[in-house]
Amino acid sequence: MALEPNLAIIMSLTAYKIASLIVGLLFSYMGYKLFMSGIWGHAGEINSQLGDNKLVIKKAAPGTFFALFGAIIVGITVWKGLEFKDLENLPARGETPVKPHEQPNNLLPQNPPL
C-alpha cells in the first residue's frame, strides 16, 4: 500500500526533526557527563562574531564544547520548526512545470480602456 505524497513528506520531515533533536540532546548529555566526570584538559578555544556580538571561549573543558554544540543543534532545530510544502500546486507526473513568469495573466484586459 502506497502512502499519500503529503503524508510521506510529513512523516519523513517529522522523523528528520526528531532525529535532529535526539542528536542535539545526546551531544548535550555527553558534554554534561564529561563536565561532571572531572575531565578538565584544555580543549581549545572558540572565537565567533555575529554583527556587534562576539563570543570567545578560551581554555574550556571538552564537555563545554559538546554541550555548546548540542545546544546549538537543538536551538536551530526548534527555531526552524516544521515547514510543509503543499504538493497540490505541483505538476503531475509527465506534465511540464509552468514557471510563474510564463503563466498567462488573465487579469489584464486585452485592449487598453481608451
Is residue 42 one of the residues assigned to a domain?
yes
CB 78 within 8 A of CB 20: no
The pLDDT score that the predictor gives to residue 99 is 60
Residue-wise burial string across 11-44, b where 16 or more C-beta atoms lie within 10 A, e elsewhere? eeeeeeeeebeeebeebbebbeebbeeeeeeebe
In this predicted structure, what is the pLDDT of residue 95? 62
pLDDT at 4: 74
Residue 89 belongs to a domain = no
- Write out the chain's pLDDT in tens, 114 residues: 566 767 877 888 889 899 999 999 999 998 888 888 877 766 677 788 878 888 787 777 778 888 888 988 899 888 887 776 655 565 566 666 656 555 555 666 677 776
* Calpha distance 73→20 (Å, rounded): 7
All cell numbers assigned to 88: 497540490
pLDDT score at 8:
78
Task: Please give the pLDDT value at position 92.
Answer: 60
Q: What is the pLDDT of residue 26?
A: 93
Find, among 60, 72, 57, 74, the residue nearest to 22 by Cα. Answer: 74
What range defines the domain where residue 35 resides? 11-84
103 in any annotated domain? no
| Domain membership flag for residue 109 | no
| Full-model pTM | 0.58
Asked if residue 49 is part of any domain, the answer here is: yes
Total domains present in the chain: 1
